[in-house]
């Protein structure tokens, strides 16, 4: 980096490093911006205020809803202009894992671009399978169905193996 004038080369360095956009993900709405600023200041100097990212709802009634992402601008201590960190934030005795990155889609598991950690191809199979089981258990059932997805004799919620737990068909 430099300038050549009359066959003389002069090295030129920027007067100031430019700020980069940092996206902070998985931030619950009750986490204060000052907590994030304090944590991120370990990696450089924060130049802008923290802004909440809209959830993208088009309806005027839901336009005020924000996502669990926030953005800010800062200069980084390292010269690579990249940041990819995970840190914990303590709020009222509970730890929340927060991700900060210069990229919108960089995996925090393997560090590669183009996908997020929840769909990382390098994740161990057992951990991925447990996460999939957890989401399958909590979704897909409708009112009047038991955990197996079938209605009981009365059309009410119940265990598919009701008789094994001491009950009979009358519900006693």
Residue 134 lies in a domain: no
Question: Is the pLDDT assigned to residue 137 strictly greater than 50?
Answer: no
Query: pLDDT tens digits for 53-96?
Result: 888 788 889 888 888 999 999 989 887 778 889 999 999 999 99
What's the pLDDT score for residue 27? 93
In this structure, is residue 135 part of a structural domain? no
Q: Indicate the pTM of the whole model.
A: 0.54
Question: Taking a C-beta distance cutoff of 8 angstroms, is the pair 3, 77 a contact?
Answer: no
Examine residue 29 and state whether it is found in any structural domain, yes or no. Answer: yes
Nearest by Cα to 70 from 95, 42, 98: 98
Here the CATH number for the domain that contains residue 99 is: 3.30.70
What are the phi and psi torsion angles at 120 (to 5°)? -70, 130
pLDDT tens-digit series, residues 9-58: 988 877 666 788 999 999 999 999 999 999 999 999 998 999 998 887 88
Pairing of strands 66-76, 94-101: unpaired
Whole-angstrom distance, CA of residue 142 vs CA of residue 21: 43
Confirm whether 164 is domain-assigned.
no
Give the pLDDT of residue 133.
Answer: 38
């Amino acid at each position: 980096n430099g300038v050549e004038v009359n066959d003389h080369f002069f090295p030129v360095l920027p007067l100031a490093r430019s700020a980069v956009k940092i996206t902070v993900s998985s931030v619950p709405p009750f986490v204060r911006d000052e907590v994030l600023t304090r944590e991120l200041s370990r990696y450089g100097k924060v130049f802008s205020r923290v802004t909440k990212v809209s959830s993208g709802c088009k309806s005027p009634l839901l336009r005020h809803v924000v996502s669990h992402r926030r953005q800010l601008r800062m200069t980084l201590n390292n010269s690579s202009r990249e940041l990819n960190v995970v840190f914990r934030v303590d709020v009222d005795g509970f730890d929340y894992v927060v991700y900060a990155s210069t990229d919108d889609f960089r995996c925090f598991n393997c560090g590669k671009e183009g996908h997020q950690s929840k769909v990382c191809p390098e994740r161990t199979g057992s951990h991925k399978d447990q996460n999939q089981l957890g989401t399958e258990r909590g979704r897909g059932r409708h009112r009047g169905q038991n955990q197996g997805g079938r209605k009981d004799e009365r059309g009410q919620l119940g265990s598919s193996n009701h008789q094994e737990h001491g009950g009979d068909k009358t519900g006693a």
